[in-house]
Amino acid sequence: MSYRGLVTSKISPELFVFMKTKTYVCDINQSLVIMKSMLFTLLLVVLSLQMMAKTNGSTSPVDLKGLFNDKLQKSIVEDIPIRAEISGSEFLVLSFEAPIMDMTITLYKDGVMVIQKSLSVSSGDTETFDLTLWGMGEYSLKFTTPRGTDVYGDFRLE
């Protein structure tokens, strides 16, 4: 049986394909083993990436306490417009819900100052600090302004 230069065997057509000058043998079992191993490897990669995404994507809030002075009204605001959370035990993420001028952020690890940064922020701004430089331990976070704001919070990295 011939189809434009392609001849197939009548004995087992799925295993042999004859071309004009070459013969190719297809071992179906070997192909299945290769496909199974590729599928298994892909499954392992996807599961490990999913586990990494779950651990890295976890956040835990830092409870902030203290007094916040509003710059416009010069009065004490009961709700602190600063949110702090630990992202995946690697980053400290600060979110600001109101504009704050001339604020100083100080971070202590085990009682020793590791970061002190002065800045002004707008509503909706975020600030991120990499905690991998200092590792596990007890941390204290403090926000101060010249107008009397004194907000603080403690957290622990394990």
Q: Are 80 and 150 in contact (CB under 8 A)?
A: no
Same domain assignment for residues 141 and 98:
yes
Q: Output the pTM of the full model.
A: 0.61
pLDDT of 51 higher than 70: no
Same domain assignment for residues 52 and 70:
no
What percentage of the chain exceeds 90 in pLDDT?
33
Same domain assignment for residues 52 and 72:
no
Half-sphere exposure of 86 (CA within 13 A, CB side): 22
**Distance between CA atoms of residues 129 and 13, nearest Å:** 65
Average pLDDT value over all residues in the chain: 79
Looking up tokens 């004194």 gives: 150
Same domain assignment for residues 9 and 84:
no
Last residue in a domain, options 56, 76, 94 = 56
- pLDDT at position 152, please? 94
115-149: pLDDT as tens digits: 999 999 998 999 999 998 888 999 999 999 888 88
For residue 145, the 8-state DSSP code is -
Same domain assignment for residues 91 and 145:
yes
**Distance between CA atoms of residues 149 and 70, nearest Å:** 8
Q: How many domains does the chain have?
A: 2
Instruction: Select from 143, 137, 135 the least CA-distant residue to 155.
Output: 137
Same domain assignment for residues 34 and 73:
no
Please state which of the ranges 8-12, 82-86, 117-121 shows the lowest mean pLDDT: 8-12
